[in-house]
Amino acid sequence: MKKIEAIIKPFKLEEVKEALSELGIEGMTVTEVKGFGRQKGHTEIYRGSEYTVDFLPKIKIEIVLNDDLVDNASNAIVKAAKTGKIGDGKIFISTVEEAIRIRTEETGDKAV
Protein backbone atom coordinates (compact mmCIF):
# COMPACT_ATOMS: atom_id res chain seq x y z
CA MET A 1 0.00 0.00 0.00
CA LYS A 2 1.34 3.38 -0.98
CA LYS A 3 0.24 6.95 -0.53
CA ILE A 4 0.63 9.45 -3.34
CA GLU A 5 0.66 13.10 -2.35
CA ALA A 6 0.61 15.37 -5.36
CA ILE A 7 0.90 19.17 -5.16
CA ILE A 8 -0.44 20.63 -8.39
CA LYS A 9 -1.60 23.88 -9.94
CA PRO A 10 -5.23 24.44 -8.93
CA PHE A 11 -6.60 24.75 -12.46
CA LYS A 12 -5.25 21.29 -13.31
CA LEU A 13 -7.37 19.49 -10.70
CA GLU A 14 -10.19 18.58 -13.05
CA GLU A 15 -7.81 17.04 -15.63
CA VAL A 16 -5.90 15.11 -12.98
CA LYS A 17 -9.11 13.81 -11.46
CA GLU A 18 -10.30 12.59 -14.86
CA ALA A 19 -6.97 10.92 -15.64
CA LEU A 20 -7.05 9.07 -12.33
CA SER A 21 -10.66 8.03 -12.76
CA GLU A 22 -9.77 6.46 -16.10
CA LEU A 23 -7.29 4.22 -14.26
CA GLY A 24 -10.10 3.03 -12.04
CA ILE A 25 -8.97 4.91 -8.96
CA GLU A 26 -12.06 5.25 -6.90
CA GLY A 27 -11.29 7.85 -4.31
CA MET A 28 -9.08 10.74 -3.40
CA THR A 29 -8.81 13.53 -0.84
CA VAL A 30 -8.23 17.06 -2.05
CA THR A 31 -7.07 20.04 0.00
CA GLU A 32 -6.54 23.66 -0.96
CA VAL A 33 -3.06 24.52 0.25
CA LYS A 34 -0.53 27.31 -0.09
CA GLY A 35 3.20 26.99 -0.53
CA PHE A 36 6.25 27.61 -2.61
CA GLY A 37 9.16 25.68 -4.02
CA ARG A 38 11.66 26.85 -6.57
CA GLN A 39 8.92 28.96 -8.13
CA LYS A 40 9.19 31.24 -5.06
CA GLY A 41 6.83 34.14 -4.70
CA HIS A 42 6.80 37.36 -6.62
CA THR A 43 6.38 41.08 -5.93
CA GLU A 44 3.20 42.95 -6.69
CA ILE A 45 2.13 46.56 -6.31
CA TYR A 46 -1.31 47.66 -5.12
CA ARG A 47 -2.16 51.36 -4.78
CA GLY A 48 1.51 52.26 -4.64
CA SER A 49 2.44 49.76 -1.93
CA GLU A 50 4.80 46.98 -2.84
CA TYR A 51 4.32 43.57 -1.26
CA THR A 52 5.61 40.07 -1.78
CA VAL A 53 3.46 37.06 -2.45
CA ASP A 54 5.39 34.18 -0.83
CA PHE A 55 2.78 31.46 -0.69
CA LEU A 56 0.99 30.59 -3.88
CA PRO A 57 -2.28 28.67 -3.92
CA LYS A 58 -1.93 24.98 -4.83
CA ILE A 59 -4.03 21.84 -4.61
CA LYS A 60 -2.85 18.80 -2.68
CA ILE A 61 -4.27 15.45 -3.78
CA GLU A 62 -3.84 12.43 -1.51
CA ILE A 63 -4.50 8.91 -2.76
CA VAL A 64 -3.78 5.63 -1.03
CA LEU A 65 -3.61 2.67 -3.44
CA ASN A 66 -2.28 -0.80 -4.04
CA ASP A 67 1.38 -1.04 -4.99
CA ASP A 68 0.74 -2.21 -8.56
CA LEU A 69 -1.21 0.96 -9.40
CA VAL A 70 1.37 3.45 -8.17
CA ASP A 71 3.42 3.82 -11.35
CA ASN A 72 0.42 4.27 -13.58
CA ALA A 73 -1.17 6.74 -11.19
CA SER A 74 1.91 8.89 -10.79
CA ASN A 75 2.46 8.90 -14.54
CA ALA A 76 -1.12 9.93 -15.12
CA ILE A 77 -0.78 12.79 -12.66
CA VAL A 78 2.43 14.02 -14.28
CA LYS A 79 0.88 13.89 -17.72
CA ALA A 80 -2.27 15.71 -16.71
CA ALA A 81 -0.74 18.34 -14.44
CA LYS A 82 2.25 19.30 -16.56
CA THR A 83 2.36 22.72 -18.21
CA GLY A 84 6.15 22.77 -18.55
CA LYS A 85 6.35 26.03 -16.65
CA ILE A 86 7.81 26.59 -13.22
CA GLY A 87 5.32 25.90 -10.46
CA ASP A 88 3.80 22.71 -11.84
CA GLY A 89 4.24 20.99 -8.45
CA LYS A 90 5.62 17.73 -7.06
CA ILE A 91 4.58 14.18 -6.28
CA PHE A 92 5.61 12.37 -3.09
CA ILE A 93 5.15 8.62 -2.69
CA SER A 94 5.36 6.89 0.67
CA THR A 95 4.52 3.55 2.19
CA VAL A 96 1.36 3.15 4.22
CA GLU A 97 1.31 0.59 7.03
CA GLU A 98 -2.37 -0.03 7.39
CA ALA A 99 -5.80 1.05 6.12
CA ILE A 100 -9.17 0.43 7.74
CA ARG A 101 -12.57 1.04 6.22
CA ILE A 102 -14.62 2.38 9.11
CA ARG A 103 -18.03 1.13 7.98
CA THR A 104 -17.06 -2.54 7.45
CA GLU A 105 -13.86 -2.68 9.51
CA GLU A 106 -12.08 -4.28 6.52
CA THR A 107 -8.33 -3.83 6.59
CA GLY A 108 -5.35 -3.81 4.23
CA ASP A 109 -5.74 -3.80 0.44
CA LYS A 110 -9.47 -4.49 0.70
CA ALA A 111 -9.97 -1.23 2.57
CA VAL A 112 -8.21 0.93 -0.02
Partner 1 sequence: MSNLLSRLACVGAFVVLSAVPASALESKPTPTVEQRLAAMEAYFQNTDPAAALVDANGKTPAGLTTPAVGVPGPGHNTWMMLSAAAVLFMTLPGLAIFYGGLVRRKNVLSVLAQCLGVTTLVTVIWWAVGYSLAFAPGGGALGRIFGGLDYAFLRGVTSVPNCAYSPWVSHNVYAMFQMMFAIITPALIVGAVAERMRFQAILTFVGLWMFVVYIPITHMAWGVDGLMNGVWNPHAAIRAIDFAGGTVVEMASGWSSLVLCLIVGKRMNYGKELFAPHSMVFCMVGAGMLWVGWYGFNAGSAVAADGVASNAFLTTTLAGAVASGTWALAEYFVRGKASVLGFCSGIVAGLVAITPACGFVNASGAMLIGILGGVIPFLAVYKLKAWFKYDDSLDVFGVHGVAGTLGMLMTGLLADVAVNPNLAGVAAQANGLAKLVNNGLWIEQLKAMGLTFLVATVGTALVAYAVRAMMAVRITPEEEHSGLDLSEHGEEGYIL
C-alpha to C-alpha distances, 12 to 19, 26, 89, nearest whole angstrom: 11, 19, 11
- Helix (H, G, I), strand (E, B), or coil: what is residue 87? coil
User: Closest approach of Cβ 44 to partner 1, in Å?
Assistant: 7
Q: What is the CA radius of gyration of the chain?
A: 17
Contact between 58 and partner 1 (CB under 8 A)? no
Q: Which is nearer to partner 1, 14 or 22 (CB)?
A: 14
User: Closest approach of Cβ 19 to partner 1, in Å?
Assistant: 14
Contacting residues toward partner 1, per CB under 8 A: 9-11, 14, 44, 46, 57, 83
